[in-house]
Amino acid sequence: MNPANLPFDSETMLEGLRTWVECESPTWDAGAVNRMLDIAARDMAVMGATIERIAGRQGFGGVVRARFPHPKQGEPGILIAGHMDTVHPVGTIEKLKWRREGNRCYGPGICDMKGGNYLSLEAIRQLARASFTTPLPITVLFTPDEEVGTPSTRDIIEAEAARNKYVLVPEPGRADNGVTTGRYAIARFNLEATGRPSHAGATLSAGRSAIREMARQILAIEAMTTEDCTFSVGIVHGGQWVNCVATTATGEALSMAKRQADLDRGVERMLALSGTSNDVAFKVTRGVTRPVWEPDAGTMALYEKARGIAKSLGAELPHASSGGGSDGNFTGTMGIPTLDGLGVRGGNVHTLEEYIEVESLVERGRLMAGLLATLE
């Protein structure tokens, strides 16, 4: 089976992908994510898959697991792992409308990672239409909470990965047409400042502002950034009345490191910020953490397989470790051969100019089909 001969068509793929992109699915809106999962589940059911719905927890949407018909059904095979949540609130489609401009197509979540998820299904669809039976059974797992660290579904992902021989993750491809064979470690932290209230007009000096302390700590946290370990504060809430000295302020911080030892030191530095200063208590607690994923022999052998397929299709396929976490952090760390970044090429993810390179739908679809057709 030569994937170059499969009749992938970018215009047809865009038509199907548009339905997915225009069904907005921000992580914190469980109903919206479930609507997106409904669409994906229906598409896979039409393709002949057996669909299982797993209820969500912790306020997140659910999970869709699809197993495609195969003579070896139930034996270890290939897991395609993707997330259907995005960072874009409902209503973003009015600001980031679906539009095509030459080789670019725009829309919320189109690159991260609905485009990759969709091309993965198209690869399965094309192989089925060609009456080609893959050497291994295929399972697709779509989850609802990757953008916030996968707090509610890590156990499901790891359990499903353990049942399979390979994990393919269609997160966005690298700008150089590369794939991802490792990912940096990421830790999240919860921040809380507790001060003393007073009337901001009549007795200002009697109060101790939690917002002021939070602001001071934000500067200190971000100043800890080095090449080996970065720190940033992305969420802050504080105060309730402008005429009251703020009693509480909360925030969330994120740290990323290329090596686990660097992240561990960063975690220690963050937790050491807890204490009391100027009568204001500041508390740091550790949140969701993604471990460093460093490629092992199994992952590199999987990469070499993909590189050979890409070469047969006339393309180079470089590889590298990437910043920004994915669920590949978990499966790769488990020692299961994992290849990430198999999705579309594009750019400006998590912004109001998120786009994909349309030609990459077919190119990466063929690469995915080649992997599914040859892994054994």
Q: Which residues are catalytic?
A: 85, 146
Give me the amino acid identity at 119.
L
Q: What is the largest CA-CA distance in the chain?
A: 80
Using alpha carbons, list the distances in angstroms from residue 114 to 33, 36, 40, 274, 375.
12, 10, 10, 39, 24
Tokens 């054994």 identify what position? 376
Q: How far apart are alpha carbons 14 and 119 in whole angstroms? A: 10
Q: Whose CA is closest to 324, among 122, 131, 210, 182?
A: 182
Strands 229-238, 248-257: pairing kind: antiparallel
Q: Where are the alpha helices (DSSP H) in the chain?
A: 10-21, 30-46, 115-129, 154-162, 210-222, 260-271, 297-312, 328-333, 359-374
Strands 63-67, 50-54: pairing kind: antiparallel
Half-sphere exposure of 31 (CA within 13 A, CB side): 1
Q: How far apart are alpha carbons 357 and 317 in whole angstroms? A: 16
